[in-house]
C-alpha cells in the first residue's frame, strides 16, 4: 500500500528578510552558474520607501508548482517532475530554446541563456534533497527568513502583494506583517518594467505569422488556389517555416516542437502548419484533386490561424479575443480579397481598424507607449487600401488591376505595423511587474483616503 508523500515547499518571512542576497549567491555557487547570474533573486516592494506604505523584500525562485505552466506549455516536453522531491526539472538536452515557458511562467523563473541557447531554472536543489539536505539558498540565509519543509506544515499565505496570483499552486508560503494582502483588479503591466518581448527576438515570428495568414487565406478560396501555383506556394511555405525556427536557441532540435500536441498550443500550431502545407501541396499538384480537398485545406488553414492566436493566451495580454493583429482575422480578410467578397474583407478591415483605435486609446489612458508614427501609418494604410479596393471591385467582382495591387501593398504595410506592435505590447506577467501594479494600487488607495 503506497503512502502519500508530503509536498515540499519554501517559506519566506518578509519581516526577517533583509534583501542581503545571500540566498542568490548560495544558489549561484551551489549550481556553478556563470558570474552575475542566479536562479534565485531579490525583488523589493516599495524600494523608495514611500511614506505610509510597507517596504519589504521577496526572495524568489522557481516555485515548483503542482500545476506548473512551464511543464504544461513546453512544446518540446523538456520539463519533467522528480518523483522523489517534486522538483520541476528542465532537461537542457531536450530544450529547443523557444522561450515559450518564459512567457507561460508568471513568476519569471525560467531564464533564457543566450550563450547556451536553452532555458535554465532552479532545480529545487533536488540533488541536495536526495542527500537529506535543505536547498543551498535556505541553508545560507543568515536571518532564517527563508526556510523549507512540508508545504502543509508551513504557516503563512500563498499570496502577498507583488506575487502573481495564479491557479498554478506554487510551492511557497509567505509570512510576516509587512506584505499584507495582494490587491485585486485587472492586470496591467507597470510601464517601468522592461518587456520580455522585442522585435529583435520576435521579428522572425512577425514574418511567420503573416505568411501563414496569407497562405491560409489564399488557399481558402477556389480563386486563390487558382492564383497560387505549387512552386510559389512551396517557396513561401519554406520561408515561413524557416522564419519560425530563426528565434530558436537550438534550431537543430526544432523537430521537438510538435511533441506536446496534447497540451501546448505552440505544438498544435506547428503540427497544423505541417498538415496544412502537405494538404495544400496535394491540392495544388497536377494530380487530380481529391473530392473535398479544397474544404480540407481551408479548414486546416483556419485551424492553424486559430492555434497561432491561441499561443499568446499565456501572456495575459488583454484584448486577444478580437485583436486587430489577430492572424485569424487577417486570414479571413485575405480570403475575402482573393475571393472577391467585399462584404467579408470590408467587415474584417473595419473590425481591425476599430479594435486598433480602441487599443491605442487604452494605451494612452494607461500612459504606455502609443507610437504615434506607427499609429498614423497603420490607420492611413487601412483607410487608403479600403478606398482602392472599392475602386478595384465596384460590383463585388475582383480584378487584379493596378489599384488592387497598390491596395494589397498598403494592407501589407498596415498588417506588418500592427503585428510588430502586437509583439511590443505583449503583457507577460512577472513578479516585478506585479509589484509595480500592487504599489500603484496602494498609492491610488492612499490618495483616495487623503482626498
Angle, helix 293-311 to helix 327-338, in steps of 10 degrees = 150
**Residues 255 and 123 reside in one and the same domain:** no
The answer to whether residue 123 is domain-embedded is yes
The CATH number linked to 33 is 3.30.70.20
Copy the grid coordinates of residue 285.
499538384
Catalogue the E-assigned strands of 22-158.
Answer: 41-45, 56-60, 79-81, 88-90, 111-113, 118-120, 146-150
Instruction: Find, among 154, 158, 199, 130, the residue nearest to 66 by Cα.
Output: 158
15 and 65 inside one domain: yes
Q: What angle do CA 58, 446, 172 make, to 5 degrees?
A: 20
Query: Do 103 and 161 reside in the same domain of the chain?
Result: yes
Q: What are the distances in angstroms from CA 267 to CA 216, 349, 432?
A: 18, 29, 29
- CA proximity to 11, closest of 54, 63, 72: 63
Tell whether 227 and 314 lie within a shared domain: yes
416 assigned to some structural domain: yes
CB-based burial, 15-49: b 16+ in 10 Å, e otherwise: ebbebebbbbebbbebbeeeeeebbbbbbbbbeee
Are 215 and 68 in the same domain? no
Contact (Cβ atoms closer than 8 angstroms) between residue 213 and residue 219: no
In-domain check, residue 36: yes
Q: What is the pLDDT of residue 2?
A: 39
Q: Is residue 2 part of a domain?
A: no
**Cell numbers at 289, concatenated:** 484533386
Give domain status of residue 156, yes or no: yes
Cα 319 to Cα 312, 363, 383: the distances in Å are: 11, 12, 22
Is 148 found in the same domain as 213? no
pLDDT at residue 243, rounded to an integer: 95
CB 76 within 8 A of CB 98: yes
Cβ–Cβ < 8 Å for 214, 409:
no
**DSSP bridge pairs for 392:** none
Instruction: Clarify whether residues 164 and 276 are in a common domain.
Output: no
170: containing domain:
8-185
CATH at residue 218: 1.20.1630.10
Q: Per the domain annotation, does 366 fall within a domain? A: yes
Instruction: Answer whether 417's CB lies under 8 Å from 377's CB.
Output: yes
- Interhelix angle 265-284/199-219, nearest 10 degrees: 40
Number of structural domains found in the chain:
2
Q: Are 327 and 266 in the same domain?
A: yes
Alpha-carbon distances of 306 from 68, 236, 279, 348, 373, rounded to whole Å: 24, 20, 18, 15, 30
Alpha-carbon span 62 to 108, nearest angstrom? 8
| 412 part of a folded domain | yes
Sequence-distant contacts of 317-320: CB under 8 A, at least 24 apart: 317/425, 317/426, 317/427, 318/186, 318/187, 318/427, 319/355, 319/359, 319/362
Torsion of CA 311, 314, 316, 320, to 10 degrees: 20
Contact 107, 239 (CB under 8 A): no
Indicate whether 323 and 238 sit together in one domain: yes
Per-residue pLDDT of the chain (451 residues; tens, 9 = 90+): 334 467 899 999 999 999 999 999 999 999 999 988 999 999 999 888 888 888 999 999 999 999 999 999 999 999 999 988 999 999 999 999 999 999 999 999 999 998 999 999 999 999 999 999 999 999 999 999 999 999 999 998 988 888 888 899 999 999 987 655 444 333 333 334 456 777 888 899 999 999 999 999 999 999 999 989 999 999 999 999 999 999 899 999 999 999 999 999 999 999 999 999 999 999 999 888 788 899 999 999 999 999 999 999 999 888 888 899 999 999 999 999 998 888 898 999 999 999 999 999 999 998 888 999 999 999 999 999 888 888 776 544 556 678 788 888 999 999 999 999 999 999 888 898 888 888 888 888 877 777 6
Same domain? For 76 and 207 the reply is no
CA-to-CA distance for 215 and 381, rounded, in angstroms? Answer: 21
Amino acid at each position: 500500500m503506497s503512502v502519500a508523500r508530503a509536498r515540499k515547499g519554501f517559506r519566506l518571512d518578509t519581516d526577517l528578510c533583509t534583501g542581503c542576497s545571500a540566498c542568490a549567491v548560495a544558489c549561484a555557487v551551489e549550481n556553478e552558474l556563470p558570474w552575475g547570474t542566479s536562479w534565485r533573486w531579490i525583488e523589493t516592494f516599495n524600494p523608495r520607501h514611500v511614506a505610509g506604505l510597507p517596504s519589504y523584500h521577496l526572495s524568489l525562485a522557481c516555485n515548483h508548482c503542482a500545476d506548473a505552466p512551464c511543464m504544461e506549455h513546453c512544446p518540446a516536453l523538456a520539463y519533467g517532475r522528480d518523483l522523489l522531491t517534486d522538483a520541476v526539472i528542465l532537461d537542457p538536452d531536450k530544450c529547443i530554446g523557444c522561450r515559450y515557458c518564459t512567457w507561460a511562467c508568471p513568476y519569471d523563473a525560467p531564464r533564457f541563456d543566450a550563450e547556451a541557447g536553452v532555458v535554465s531554472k532552479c532545480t529545487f536543489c533536488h540533488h541536495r534533497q536526495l542527500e537529506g539536505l535543505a536547498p543551498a539558498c535556505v541553508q545560507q540565509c543568515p536571518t532564517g527568513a527563508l526556510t523549507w519543509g512540508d508545504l502543509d506544515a508551513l504557516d503563512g499565505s500563498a499570496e502577498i502583494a507583488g506575487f502573481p496570483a495564479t491557479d498554478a499552486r506554487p510551492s511557497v508560503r509567505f509570512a510576516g506583517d509587512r506584505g499584507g494582502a495582494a490587491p485585486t483588479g485587472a492586470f496591467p503591466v507597470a510601464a517601468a518594467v522592461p518587456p520580455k518581448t522585442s522585435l529583435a527576438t520576435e521579428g522572425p515570428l512577425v514574418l511567420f505569422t503573416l505568411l501563414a495568414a496569407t497562405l491560409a487565406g489564399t488557399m481558402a478560396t477556389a480563386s486563390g488556389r487558382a492564383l497560387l501555383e505549387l512552386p510559389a506556394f512551396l517557396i513561401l511555405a519554406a520561408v515561413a517555416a524557416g522564419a519560425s525556427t530563426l528565434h530558436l536557441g537550438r534550431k537543430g532540435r526544432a523537430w521537438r516542437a510538435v511533441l506536446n500536441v496534447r497540451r501546448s498550443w505552440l505544438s498544435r500550431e506547428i503540427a497544423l502548419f505541417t498538415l496544412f502545407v502537405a494538404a495544400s501541396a496535394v491540392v495544388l499538384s497536377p494530380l487530380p484533386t481529391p473530392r473535398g480537398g479544397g474544404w480540407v485545406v481551408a479548414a486546416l488553414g483556419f485551424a492553424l490561424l486559430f492555434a497561432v492566436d491561441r499561443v499568446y493566451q499565456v501572456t495575459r495580454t488583454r484584448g486577444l479575443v478580437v485583436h486587430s493583429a489577430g492572424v485569424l482575422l487577417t486570414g479571413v480578410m485575405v480570403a475575402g480579397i482573393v475571393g472577391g467578397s467585399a462584404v467579408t474583407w470590408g467587415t474584417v478591415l473595419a473590425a481591425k481598424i476599430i479594435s486598433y483605435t480602441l487599443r491605442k486609446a487604452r494605451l494612452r489612458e494607461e500612459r504606455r507607449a502609443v507610437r504615434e508614427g506607427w499609429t498614423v501609418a497603420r490607420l492611413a494604410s487601412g483607410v487608403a487600401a479600403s478606398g482602392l479596393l472599392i475602386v478595384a471591385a465596384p460590383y463585388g467582382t475582383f480584378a487584379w488591376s493596378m489599384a488592387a495591387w497598390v491596395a494589397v501593398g498598403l494592407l501589407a504595410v498596415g498588417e506588418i505595423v500592427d503585428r510588430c506592435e502586437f509583439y511590443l505590447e505583449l503583457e507577460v506577467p512577472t513578479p516585478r511587474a506585479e509589484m509595480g501594479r500592487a504599489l500603484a494600487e496602494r498609492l491610488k488607495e492612499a490618495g483616495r483616503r487623503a482626498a
